Chain A
Amino acid sequence: MNLKKYTSLLRAGIMESLNYRLSALVLFFGNLVYIAIIYYLWRAIYASSPTDVVGGMTFTDTLIYVVLASSLFSFMEMYFVWDIGRSVQSGKIALDLIKPMAYRDYVFWSCAGTLFTNFFSVFLPTFIVIEIVTKGAIDFGMNLVWFIPSVIMGVVINYNIDFFVGSICLYTESIWGINMMKQVIVLLFSGATIPLAFFPDKLQSIAYHLPFQSIYNTPLSILLMHSPSVSQVLPMILLQLFWCVALTLFTSLFWFISIRQVTVNGG
């Protein structure tokens, strides 16, 4: 297998996203503003609660979780569904389809550059700030080691869900409504906005049976563990692996069926 084509796409993506310096800056500050909002929101929630511990989490636990979740979201969200929608509508997709590589790989590696730069411009700074502010609430141990494969699988699962939504666009030729719906579902059930621990039992068990929580909740939970044992982490990682494989198979099949009925707009 020749990896050069993938690294080359990655490289171009990094260069392109660096080109929009202002956008990276806005993303960075936008994230700070968001963090400020959730800080006050959760402080108010805890202030109105009779106990210091809600859903098994203290205020500091929740804040760390939510802040990291939001920065993880900014880092992992690729927004390429909009691109697929646009290229289906404009007919540009024809040009991407005739590249000598699978479309899903082409799109993924084209977007991977943005992931890369977002990791350094959003996630890492937030992580460091959290670590300083909380005076080392996050361990530097096995949790970090497990976090890496877990976050990579999170990216893959997230990509598959997005790619599935993008494929639906081949039928609908419109992406807005369906993508908004996806975003709401993912934000809710992945733990990106509210820690899953706060959910009522029933909803929690639904959330744990869906693939979304493997995107943000699993890597975050692993990151926040204190010297986790293998038996603690392994089930979570294996579940992620299961979703990776299952979704990759499913979305590949769905794409394969859908592309046969593509109509490609434009004269």
Chain B
Amino acid sequence: MEEAVIQIKNITKEFKVLNHREGVKGGLMDLFSRDYRIVRAVDDISMNVEQGEIVGYLGPNGAGKSTTIKMMAGVLEPTSGEILVNGVIPYKNRAGNSQHIGVVFGQRSQLWWALPLIESFKLLRDIYQIPKAEYEEMLSFYASIADMENLLHKPVRQMSLGQRTLSDILAAFLHNPKIVFLDEPTIGLDVSMKAKIRELILSLNEKKHTTVILTTHDMGDVDALCRRIVIIDHGKMLYDNDMDHLKGFFGSYRTLKIRVSGDVNGHLAEIQRQFPDMRTETEEGWITILVDEEKTGVMKVLNTIQESVKVRDVQIEEISTEDVIRKIYEGDMG
């Protein structure tokens, strides 16, 4: 078997943070303070990533995702533990490592602000010493998946946020790196731009077999791109497995939504009496019931309800990734 492109063993990253005091007086006292506390941003994380995988690296804000990525990129040095990226230790060989990785930190651009995109591309070509043929091939590949004519000759500062993000992603893939880190690439984008960017990432991954590590808060990204997800919170690893496996946990759950007329709360109370085990919610005339099909079939629940309540409309939904992730964040996995 091939060696994993990313090997992480028990890494931990601690920061020393000054305990700030309140107000102007506190600010003045801070100038002379030695009152530090240690914050453990990443706490004993291990994982291996194979070439060509797309891994969703998820977690609430402040979970330690970006810190992990910065360690993999070689910007930060771990406090303890081992990292190997493409067989080298990233922070010890920053320049060597950078030849094989691409990074997009959402909302921070590496492109030259005043210049047309093509100039930034040429610059990257020279900095990364991309052979001419490869560069040309990449550009024509880009042209086949995105509207490059519109992008290439436009100064970056005149681009919309969506166009700039798209350009930044293309720039990160330009030197055909083995691994690309995308840190919240779809943040702040509209629906169609998000779809476009997901398509782009997928086709780049397919064509170049690039490993992609993606952090996002958008479950649409996860559904569209990731076959595997890793979840961390408070720096600790909570989950690392296939998407399918994850859904399998909750696969037997369906969400039954019914719309009723009349007294919604009265009907809800009636349903809760009939099915005391099930989670229920109401929203604008809809009653939502989380049904575990291993115990009771959705149709049976519906039939029972129908006998006592007049149902005007019905929807049955698979449990969404968002629900699953939320359950894990909230610690429902046990």
Return the chain B residue nearest A13 by Cβ: B112
Confirm or deny: A12 has a beta carbon within 8 angstroms of a beta carbon on chain B: yes
Instruction: State whether B115 touches A95 (Cβ < 8 A).
Output: no
Instruction: State whether A16 touches B115 (Cβ < 8 A).
Output: yes
Confirm or deny: B47 has a beta carbon within 8 angstroms of a beta carbon on chain A: no
Stretch at the interface among B118-126, B188-196, B308-316: B118-126
Confirm or deny: B38 has a beta carbon within 8 angstroms of a beta carbon on chain A: no
**Smallest distance from the beta carbon of A87 to chain B beta carbons, Å?**
9
Instruction: State whether A12 touches B127 (Cβ < 8 A).
Output: no
Chain A residues closer than 8 Å to B74, beta-carbon distance: 97-98
Instruction: State whether B114 touches A19 (Cβ < 8 A).
Output: yes
CA distance A98 to B70 in the complex (A): 10
Stretch at the interface among A73-81, A140-148, A190-198, A258-266: A258-266
Chain B residues closer than 8 Å to A2, beta-carbon distance: 129
Chain A residues closer than 8 Å to B94, beta-carbon distance: 97-98
Chain A residues closer than 8 Å to B73, beta-carbon distance: 94, 98
Tell which of B119, B127, B129 touches A15, judged by Cβ atoms closer than 8 Å.
B119
Chain B residues closer than 8 Å to A16, beta-carbon distance: 112-115
Instruction: State whether B70 touches A94 (Cβ < 8 A).
Output: yes
> Chain A 13-35 against B: per-residue CB contact (8 Å), 1 yes, 0 no?
00110011000000000000000
Return the chain B residue nearest A95 by Cβ: B110
> Chain B 86-115 against A: per-residue CB contact (8 Å), 1 yes, 0 no?
000000001111110101010010101111
Instruction: State whether A102 touches B112 (Cβ < 8 A).
Output: no
Tell which of B15, B105, B119 touches A95, judged by Cβ atoms closer than 8 Å.
B105
Instruction: State whether B62 touches A267 (Cβ < 8 A).
Output: yes
Chain A residues closer than 8 Å to B129, beta-carbon distance: 2, 4-5
Instruction: State whether A4 touches B126 (Cβ < 8 A).
Output: yes
Chain B residues closer than 8 Å to A260, beta-carbon distance: 77
CA distance A99 to B103 in the complex (A): 10
Given contacts A12-B115, A92-B108, A264-B70, contact A101 B15 (CB under 8 A): no
Bin chain B's interface residue count: 35 or more
CB contact list, B33-72 vs A, under 8 A: 61-62, 65-66, 70
The binding surface of chain B is classed by DSSP as mixed
Confirm or deny: A56 has a beta carbon within 8 angstroms of a beta carbon on chain B: no
CA distance A95 to B113 in the complex (A): 14
**Smallest distance from the beta carbon of B131 to chain A beta carbons, Å?**
12
CA distance A7 to B122 in the complex (A): 12
Tell which of A98, A101, A102 touches B75, judged by Cβ atoms closer than 8 Å.
A98
Bin chain A's interface residue count: 20 to 34
Confirm or deny: B141 has a beta carbon within 8 angstroms of a beta carbon on chain A: no
Tell which of A20, A94, A264, A267 touches B61, judged by Cβ atoms closer than 8 Å.
A267
Chain B residues closer than 8 Å to A228, beta-carbon distance: none
Q: Which of A5, A12, A100, A263 has the most CB of B within 10 A?
A: A100
> Chain A 68-108 against B: per-residue CB contact (8 Å), 1 yes, 0 no?
00000000000000000000001110111111111000000
Chain A residues closer than 8 Å to B15, beta-carbon distance: 263
Given contacts A4-B126, A8-B122, A264-B75, contact A99 B115 (CB under 8 A): no
**Smallest distance from the beta carbon of A116 to chain B beta carbons, Å?**
16
Chain B residues closer than 8 Å to A15, beta-carbon distance: 114-115, 119
Tell which of A7, A95, A99, A267 touches B66, judged by Cβ atoms closer than 8 Å.
A267
Instruction: State whether A12 touches B123 (Cβ < 8 A).
Output: yes
CA distance A263 to B108 in the complex (A): 17
Given contacts A100-B98, A101-B95, A264-B75, contact A5 B61 (CB under 8 A): no
Instruction: State whether B105 touches A20 (Cβ < 8 A).
Output: no
Chain B residues closer than 8 Å to A100, beta-carbon distance: 95-96, 98-99, 127-128
CB contact list, A48-73 vs B, under 8 A: none
Can you report 14 A-B residue pairs in the complex whose CB atoms are below 8 A from each other? Answer: A8-B122, A9-B127, A12-B115, A15-B115, A96-B110, A97-B75, A98-B74, A98-B101, A100-B99, A262-B75, A264-B70, A264-B76, A266-B108, A267-B61
Q: A9-B127, A98-B94, A262-B75 are in contact. List 17 more A-B contacts (CB 8 A).
A: A12-B115, A12-B123, A15-B114, A16-B113, A16-B115, A91-B108, A94-B70, A94-B105, A96-B110, A97-B94, A98-B98, A99-B95, A100-B96, A100-B99, A263-B15, A264-B75, A266-B108
List chain A positions with a Cβ less than 8 A from chain B: 2, 4-5, 7-9, 12, 15-16, 19-20, 90-92, 94-102, 260, 262-264, 266-267
